[in-house]
Amino acid sequence: MTDFDRYVELYSRDLWRFCLKLCADSRDAEDLYQDTWAKAIEKFKRFKQGTDFRKWLFTICVNSFKDSGKSKYNSTKLEFRDNDEKERFLLSVPADEQDIDSYIDLRRALLSLPKKYRVVIALFYFKDFSLKEISDILDIPVGTVNSRLSTAKKLLKRRLSHE
């Protein structure tokens, strides 16, 4: 097994869940997921062994998300094309999540955020990156990350209190 195969085995599920958090539907998430791995394969020769592969991979994913014209960045409506897509989405809900309706409300509120806030929330709360790591991934100052996180939380609170 090559190093890259080992990384794919270790991070595939985590990357898939992150793509689902960023994208409005599972088809966009599948596109982002595949695009991220394709770019990772293409750039793997430039990856510095001994550095954090997960952080490197998520940087590629975030940049692909920001550059993608296909993703429905500002979609506020959660729709499913069919029952299979709905089932895949519901299966992406963490196993310890008790209240599916609350999760769907949260997902709807997250998807209504501008992408710059959605990415910061997803990296911080769903993928447990530190403010410094997010700063490195997005190539922005830590203060900007902190500001976006604060604004995103206020927007989410406002949106969730209206539902």
3-class DSSP state for residue 79?
coil
**Distance between CA atoms of residues 34 and 16, nearest Å:** 9
**Distance between CA atoms of residues 65 and 23, nearest Å:** 8
Query: Which pLDDT band holds residue 7 (cuts at 50, 70, 90)?
Result: very high
Give pLDDT, residue 67.
Answer: 82
> In which element (H, E) is residue 158 found?
helix 142-161
Query: Which pLDDT band holds residue 88 (cuts at 50, 70, 90)?
Result: low
pLDDT in tens, 48-77: 888 999 999 999 999 999 887 544 443 444
Dihedral, CA of residue 116, residue 118, residue 121 and residue 124, to nearest 10: -70
What pTM was estimated for this model as a whole? 0.65
Long-range residue pairs from 154-162, CB within 8 A, at least 24 positions apart, any chain: 155/113, 155/117, 156/106, 156/109, 156/110, 156/113, 156/121, 159/109, 159/112, 160/105, 160/106, 160/109
Say yes or no to pLDDT of 80 above 60. Answer: no
Mean pLDDT value across residues 125-146: 92
Report whether CATH 1.20.140.160 matches the domain 3-161. yes
Give pLDDT, residue 3.
Answer: 84
Residue whose tokens read 């100052």: 141
Greater pLDDT, 94 or 134:
134
